[in-house]
Structure 1
Amino acid sequence: MKQGALKLKLQLVCGELFALGPGKADLLDAIEAQGSISAAGRALGMSYRRAWLLVDEVNRCFKDPLVETLRGGGRERGARLTEAGRAVLADYRALEEQAASVMRGTPYARLAARLRSAPQAADPTD
């Protein structure tokens, strides 16, 4: 999320992996909307393999899986968020909103007022 000169990127860490961040949250939203990992990946401009690997990471990082795949034919195939997945996504989005409210506060305004609009040219004599 970006506001003016400040960009906050909320990422939950699990060992060496990012369990959840803005991109994975968007993927979870897309899975919920599209009903499959491949359709969610297409909607976000990523390959099925990349989307599947991200879902696998998310599922391995949380105590309960966030995405379940449905095998078989007809309407009951594809993927969907589990109850835990919907709860985690809602909590992550709420955390994003809290962070955005921090950016609307006075400390941010003071920091932003001290920033240049672009970096000063480097001094070639240094």
Structure 2
Amino acid sequence: MSASPSNKPAQLKSRFRITLHGEIALGPGKVDLLEAIGRTGSISAAARELGLSYRRAWGMVDTMNQCFKKPLVEGSQGGAGGGGAQLTALGQSVIDQYRAMETKAMKSVQAEWKALHKHLDTK
């Protein structure tokens, strides 16, 4: 525990990582990146929003696109206004399915979480 604990209440978070061929095909950070690309229309803008380097974000997108049968993100060629990126229909579907898995997981462990929470030193 840190020397000065924060005043944040105890939280339970579910975190799924889907691996394929030794790579993380999908996980919480990659889903956050997909959502940011959907909002911004750009890998570089999404990377800035999440505090990632462009290289790191591009590598994450490349891994996801290689792990799925069809791409989750497609880029457009640059021009006078520059390029961009957009989620494919599969990319949006993957986000929706991943978030649904998180919701179901959280609902399924509420009784255990309440029992465990009573034992945490939350003062």
Task: Classify the TM-score, shorter chain.
Answer: 0.7 to 0.9
Q: CA deviation at 1:116?
A: 4.2
1:78 partnered with 2:84: yes
13-22 or 48-57, which deviates more:
13-22
User: What SS does the aligned partner of 2:105 have?
Assistant: helix
CA distance in 1, matches of 2:11, 2:50: 26
Look up the match of 1:88.
94
The alignment yields a C-alpha RMSD, in angstroms, of 2.1
Gap runs ≥5 in structure 1? 119-126
Q: CA deviation at 1:76?
A: 8.2
Look up the match of 2:121.
117
How many correspondences in the alignment? 114
Look up the match of 1:124.
none
- Aligned residues with identical type, % of pairs: 46
Q: CA deviation at 1:74?
A: 5.2
CA distance in 1, matches of 2:52, 2:69: 26
Higher Rg of the two aligned structures: 1
TM-score by length of 1: 0.79
TM-score by length of 2: 0.81
Gap runs ≥5 in structure 2? 1-8
